Chain A
Amino acid sequence: MFVLVIGGGKVGYYLTKELIGSGHEVVLMEKDRDRATQIADEIGSVVISHDGCEGKYLAEAGANRADIVAAVTGDDEDNLVICQMAKHHFDVPKTIARVNNPKNEALFKHLGVDELISPTRMILGSIEQDIPVHELLHLAALGEGELELIEAHLQAGSPAIGKAPKDLTMPDNCSLFAVIRDGKATPLRADTVLEEGDKVIAIGKAECEAGLHEQLIGSQEPAAVG
């Protein structure tokens, strides 16, 4: 497989090294000449010292025959431009972008980037699983990124305790579908009475978050998630 990696930071460097080790053909593009030279000295002549945001340099690097383009610079705007050029100008079958600001994820998806890697989101997700940073926990993005899988931890004072889903006024485009109680996950029926300590799993659009928070956690303004 021929992989074009753009961005010679830590991620790009180790990614290139691992791919070469796995027997793939790889080219790494890094616009900083000194950094490019440093990497080339370590891993060989697979480094091109040019800006991957420019089409002519992407062509020079072989984007026309790349199976995958991975844009892993530290700059979201650059990663988006690179993936768009790779996808629409060079017909690259798969584009992967590093997204540093999770707020850009929807835009990247909307503009056709095939796969997003968000270190910020991953770290946040990992922290949230151990420490409830937010009362509503985002578990995953679904489909094209429009829907989210959300967990609500019902703690003392939650208006949902003692009520069943049929008694709650859920926002449009949002539904509750499972409850985790005593470590067991069960489908949430319309008449299941919610208890303190339950973790309720919901699917909904991002804009439902405020309504979901009000129904399951309380009327306090939801903290920004992500």
Chain B
Amino acid sequence: MPSEPTTGPSFKRAVVALSGHPNGQRLVRLVGELAKAHKAEVIGVHVVEIDWSMPLDMDLAARSDEIQQILDMAEGTAESVGVKLESVLLQARDVGAALVDEAVERDADLLVIGLAYRTKFGGDFAMGRTIPYVLKNAPCAVWVVREPIPEENS
């Protein structure tokens, strides 16, 4: 007996990492459309990494416009696909650890993170350190959404 058509893998609550990269819009739309089909919650998290030379609760006034733009973009994109996105701003020492902690705290069953296509010094494709950390430590499902390879590199 053929199975019923599905609308993609299901989840109840997704945490989406908002890095500020242009790929973020694609990410929010993708998760938003799936969340709508499953009536799931979407939480958009932007983490500002504070280096150890500064106190963790340092004032981010100087970057407030840039941060607000990232959060507004996520909320607006989610709204455009008919989903409400709760935006969260965190200040942390390490982006990966903050994302995993937030997913655990929110009891999320999905963590979605975007991956910009870039090569390290023109050589190997670089994953950075956040994605490996999240893949290793997040207890929930993790989706890594890579942006398309720019035409000149393909």
| Size bracket, chain A contacts | 10 to 19
| A46 located at the interface, meaning its Cβ lies under 8 Å from any Cβ of chain B in the complex | yes
Residues of B within 8 A of A48 (CB): 52
A16-B90 Cα distance, complex, nearest whole Å: 24
A45-B95 Cα distance, complex, nearest whole Å: 10
**A61 & B52 in contact (Cβ 8 Å cutoff):** yes
Cross-chain contact of B97 among A25, A44, A60, A65 (Cβ < 8 A): A44
| B4 located at the interface, meaning its Cβ lies under 8 Å from any Cβ of chain A in the complex | no
What is the number of contacts between chain A and chain B, taking CB atoms within 8 Å?
24
| A64 located at the interface, meaning its Cβ lies under 8 Å from any Cβ of chain B in the complex | yes
Closest to A66 in B: B52
| A62 located at the interface, meaning its Cβ lies under 8 Å from any Cβ of chain B in the complex | yes
- Interface SS of chain B: loop
Residues of A within 8 A of B51 (CB): 60, 62
Residues of B within 8 A of A44 (CB): 97
**B96 & A27 in contact (Cβ 8 Å cutoff):** no
Within 8 A of B (CB), among A55-90: 59-62, 64-65
Query: Closest CB-CB distance, A46 to chain B, in whole Å?
Result: 7
Residues of B within 8 A of A27 (CB): 52
| B6 located at the interface, meaning its Cβ lies under 8 Å from any Cβ of chain A in the complex | no
Cross-chain contact of B53 among A25, A45, A46, A60 (Cβ < 8 A): A60
**Interface, chain B (partner A; CB < 8 A):** 51-56, 93-94, 96-97, 133
**Interface, chain A (partner B; CB < 8 A):** 25, 27, 44-46, 48, 59-62, 64-65
Beyond known contacts A61-B52, A62-B54, A64-B53: 11 more, CB 8 A cutoff: A25-B56, A45-B93, A45-B94, A45-B96, A45-B133, A59-B53, A60-B51, A60-B52, A61-B53, A62-B51, A65-B55
A-B contact pairs, 17 of them (CB 8 A): A27-B52, A44-B97, A45-B93, A45-B94, A45-B96, A45-B133, A48-B52, A59-B53, A60-B51, A61-B53, A62-B52, A62-B53, A62-B54, A64-B53, A65-B53, A65-B54, A65-B55
